[in-house]
Amino acid sequence: MTIQNGTRSAVFKILASAVAALSLVAVAAPAGAAGGGAKHPRSGGFSFEGPFGTFDQAQLQRGYKVYREVCAACHGMDLMSFRNLGQPGGPFYDSHFKGGPADNPYVRVLAAEVQVADIDSETGEPIMRPATPADRFPNPYANATAAAGANGGAAPPDLSVMAKARHDGANYIYSLLSGYEPAPEGLQIAPGQYYNPYMAGDLSPFWTGDPDHVPSGGFIAMPKPLADGQVTYDDGSPQTVDQYARDVAAFIAWASDPHATERKRTGMGVLAFLFIFAGLTYASYRRIWKGIAH
């Protein structure tokens, strides 16, 4: 069955709008992503990138450990609950636990390791108690003002959707955490600020060196948070800053988009159906228009 001119032009038309749409993607990407001189993020080699990507469960488990032991001291994840750790696609999901995350003993134990605020059911007084899977991750600070006050005026941002809140989120987080460098000579740094080449910003006002070679990056209020050997990995993975950064970036990427794998899988099915549907409809169209002059 040859494709009629009209339909060829139809496919070209759709391709044209696809090209237009995708060029709009380029337009929609903000000018500020590359502007401001931040270094382009390094690739973390993540398993979940691309249309067929999936999360590596072991990596998510290690990432959660890094988050809980290092990052959770300052960064909340207010949109996450302990039960999310046991949901399909999550770090501690196991299909053998039929009752879902509430049944999952790993999730229950991990939750119980963390104290959350609650009210005594008889007296109404504020108390701390071990968390259950239904509880949200506790925020280290009582409110936004306390968060900023305890960190020199810069509140540590919530990490629940951080991978979606930054361009090329997972790679950016990985690069930022593992990319701390000593500040170049001639850079005036205020106290409480640290230099990071992957941080967005414009360093020209603070640079006393060659004006044509302003260092890339910006100032971040967080000191280098990771050090080798800081977190013990039970699965033998290297206990290096690079590995920690990779793992916690993957965990944050999962937390930002827990349904990513399901979304891509559904997409495959939908596209397969649509291609078949298109074929059937095209055949029907040709049948109806057979021999009709137009």
Partner 1 sequence: MSDHESTYVPKTGIEKWLDSRLPIIRFGADYMALPTPRNLNYWYTFGGILMLCLVIQIVTGIVLAMHYVPNTEMAFASVERIMRDVNGGWLIRYVHANGASMFFIAVYLHMLRGLYYGSYKAPREIIWILGCVIFFLMIATAFLGYVLPWGQMSFWGAEVITNLIGAIPLVGEPILIWLRGGPAIDNATLNRFFSLHYLLPFVIFGVVVLHLWALHTSGQNNPAGVLIPKERTAKDTLPFHPYFTVKDGFAIILFLILFALFVFYMPNALGHADNYIPANPLVTPAHIVPEWYMLPFYAILRAIPDKFGGVLAMFGAIGILFVIPWLDTSRVRSMRYRPTMKVFFVIFVIVGLGLGWCGAQLPDAPVVSGMPSFMLLDGQLNSYLWLTRLLTAYYFAFFLIIMPWVGLKETPLPVPASVSEPVLDGGIPEKKG
Partner 2 sequence: MGRQGSIGAHERCDVTESVELNHDGHGGGDDATRRDFIHIAAGAAAVGAGVMMAWPLVNTMNPAADTLALSTIEFDLTKVAEGMQVVIKWQGKPVFVRYRTPAEIQEAVSTPLSALKDPQPDAERIKAGHEQYLVVIGSCTHLGCVPTFNAGDYGGWFCPCHGSHYDTSGRIRKGPAPLNLIVPTYEYISDTRVRIG
Contact residues for partner 2 (CB under 8 A)?
81, 83, 87, 99-102, 122, 132-134, 270, 273, 276-277, 280-281, 283-284, 287-288, 290-293
User: Considering only CA atoms, which of 128, 76, 85, 79 is closest in space to residue 110?
Assistant: 85
Q: Based on the shown chain and the rule CB under 8 A, indicate whether residue 213 belongs to the binding site for partner 1.
A: no
CA distance 8 to 12: 6
**b/e map of 61-91 (b: 16 or more CB within 10 Å)?**
bbbbbbbbebbbebbbbeebbbbbbbbebbb
- The position carrying tokens 């401001």 is 36
Task: Provide the 10 A C-beta neighbour count for residue 266.
Answer: 11
Closest separation between CB of residue 89 and partner 2, Å? Answer: 12
Smallest distance from partner 2 to CB 289, Å: 9
Residue located via tokens 């967005």: 200
How many residues form the binding site for partner 1 (CB under 8 A)? 60
Q: How far is the CB of 214 from partner 1 (least distance, A)?
A: 15
Among 9, 143, 145, 188, binds partner 1 (CB under 8 A): 9
Question: Does the protein bind partner 1 through residue 39 (CB under 8 A)?
Answer: no
Reference 168, options 20, 24, 30, 63; nearest CA is 30
Q: Which does 11 bind (CB under 5 to 8 A by kind): partner 2, partner 1, none?
A: partner 1
From candidates 1, 3, 13, 217, binder to partner 1 by CB under 8 A: 13
* 102 binds, options partner 1, partner 2, none, Cβ within 5 to 8 A by partner type: partner 2
- Residues 131, 124: Cα–Cα separation, whole Å: 18
In whole angstroms, what is the distance from residue 72 CA to residue 113 CA? Answer: 13
Pick what 51 binds: partner 2, partner 1, none; C-beta below 5 to 8 Å, kind-dependent: partner 1
Q: Which partner, partner 1, partner 2, none, binds residue 142 by CB below 5 to 8 Å per kind?
A: none
Q: What share of the chain is helix, strand, coil (3-state, %, to 5)?
A: 45, 5, 50
61 binds, among partner 1, partner 2, none (CB under 5 to 8 A by kind): none
Cβ distance 155 to 144 under 8 Å? yes
CB contact at 8 A, 79 and 160:
yes
Binding site for partner 1 (CB under 8 A): 6-7, 9-11, 13-14, 17-18, 20-21, 23-25, 27-33, 35-36, 51, 78-79, 84, 157-158, 160-161, 164-167, 169, 200, 256, 258-259, 263-264, 266-268, 270-271, 274-275, 277-278, 281-282, 284-285, 288-289, 292-294
